[in-house]
Amino acid sequence: MTSRLFSFIGGNTGPWRVTSARAVAGEPIAQTARVLVVPDLVADASSTPGWVLRGITSNERYVVRSEKDQLLAKQQGLGRPEATCAALIPIRKSPAWWALTQDERRAIFEEQSHHTRIGLHYLPAIARRLHHCRDLSGSEPFDFLTWFEFAPENEDSFNHMLVELRASPEWGYVEREVDIRLVRD
């Protein structure tokens, strides 16, 4: 069975070398040399040199059928040989976001912020996997961890996508965001 649970371990091991780790909003995260991605739940032991972030893949919460069909037709998987760049972007949204109802969240996410429409524009160059943290334990430091992979020549367009998303009304509900960039070596 494929794991839905993933742990991202910031420390001294793993194939992904950290090139930068910047707090976009809220508290930063400890600087580490490398990140190891493990398809399992790893406890945050005191022996861990840096940090452990944990998340679980789940069903989609906002896309409608027409959007999902477009995503499925265009998106590519992780692990492409040419995709030697990655980004790990942990995000926490505010209590005000979680107090909204489904229709209110959908309206901000897509009708106002065009989150899926923006993302679609950058497919298939950017591959991604979204992990949910909030319902894992009720006390995780972030709500979402998104892992992105792309080839070096697509880094500019990846950055452009983030500029678009961060300028959207949805990002008014982001109270903590860290942007960790990595290369595989």
Residues in touch with a copy of itself (CB under 8 A): 3-5, 41, 56, 58-65, 67-68, 98-99, 101-104, 106, 132, 134-138
**Residue corresponding to tokens 């992904």:** 16
Min dist CB 115 to a copy of itself, Å, is 13
Q: Which is nearer to a copy of itself, 66 or 156 (CB)?
A: 66
Strand partners, 179: 22
Q: Which is nearer to a copy of itself, 17 or 128 (CB)?
A: 128
Min dist CB 129 to a copy of itself, Å, is 14
Pairing type for strands 5-11 and 34-38 reads antiparallel
Min dist CB 5 to a copy of itself, Å, is 5
DSSP letter string, 8-66: EEEES-SSEEEEEEEEEESS-----SEEEEESS-----TT-SSEEEEEE----SS--HH
Rounded CA-CA distance 184/12 in Å is 14
- How far CA 111 is from CA of 62, 74, 92, 170, in Å, comes to 11, 21, 21, 10
Q: Which is nearer to a copy of itself, 106 or 166 (CB)?
A: 106
Q: What is the 3-state secondary structure (H, E, C) of 139-161?
A: CCCCCEEEEEEECHHHHHHHHHH
Q: Which is nearer to a copy of itself, 79 or 138 (CB)?
A: 138
**Could you tell me where the beta strands, DSSP code E, fall in 62-134?**
85-93, 127-132
Min dist CB 31 to a copy of itself, Å, is 29
Min dist CB 95 to a copy of itself, Å, is 10
